[in-house]
Amino acid sequence: MKRILLTAAMVGGLGAGMAWAETGTDPDWPCIQRKQPHLSLGQVWTGPVPTEAQQELAKTRDIANLAEALEQRRVSVEDAEKQIGDYAKTASNDQLTALMVAIFDRLDSRRASLIEGIGRYGHKQVALAQQIDDRRGKMEAMQKADKPDFDAIDKEEAALDWDTRIFTDRQQSLTYVCETPVILEQRAFSLGRAIAAGLKS
């Protein structure tokens, strides 16, 4: 019985962790950070508004390949900034602006896909929280029966423990998961600042 009460207390504490499911415009969004599926270029770029010609230039092989290399997180921001500085020595303003367009398009697309995945992750947590709550209610009813079936109670308790463990493990990984879109936004801003610094006046 002591273990049953402890388990119930643990599950009862999940309510605070699920507060995100009851706030905001998207009940499946599990992060404290505001959900913003897409960035605008102006949020991370202080240079000129790209022209149509520059947007087309961003699709050319040389610029696209460089953008693909620079947006990878395995390349440190410092190394990427150095590569941008080297490129800026010989690149025109059109090429630099096109490079920013190419980098932004890649990072924003990757970030949007990640946010969709986080939404699916959050939906699973909402469903699991409801399942835990249902199990808790069922177990409490079983305990209050005139002739409690202790074998059935033990079985339900084991299932409740398992669901609670899964829920808790997922919650603990949420910090990293939710920070990743922010990290990508910060990378876009840092690279944009480095590119803007190379523009010729």
Is 32 contained in some domain?
no
Would residue 16 count as lying in a domain?
no
Quick check: is 7 in a domain? no
In a domain, 22, yes or no: no
> How confident is the chain (201 residues) per 10-residue block, as mean pLDDT?
38 40 66 93 96 98 97 95 97 98 97 94 89 91 88 90 90 88 97 97 86
The answer to pTM > 0.85 is no
- Amino acid occupying residue 126: V
Contacts of 97 (CB under 8 A, 6+ apart): 47, 48, 50, 51, 54, 195, 199
Q: Tell me the residue type at 186.
A: Q
Q: What is the pLDDT of residue 24?
A: 53
User: Within a domain: residue 6?
Assistant: no
Q: 3-class DSSP state for residue 39?
A: coil
Question: What pLDDT sits at residue 84?
Answer: 98
- The amino acid present at 185, given as its one-letter code, is E
What's the pLDDT at 27? Answer: 80
- Tell whether 144 is covered by a domain: yes
Domain range for residue 161?
Answer: 51-197
Q: How many domains does one find in the chain?
A: 1
Provide the pLDDT for residue 136: 92
For position 56, what pLDDT does the model report?
98
Kindly provide the b/e burial profile for residues 119-141, where b requires at least 16 CB atoms within 10 angstroms of the residue's own CB: bebbbebbebbeebeebbeebee
Whether residue 2 is contained in a domain is answered as no
- pLDDT at position 201, please? 86
76 within domain boundaries? yes
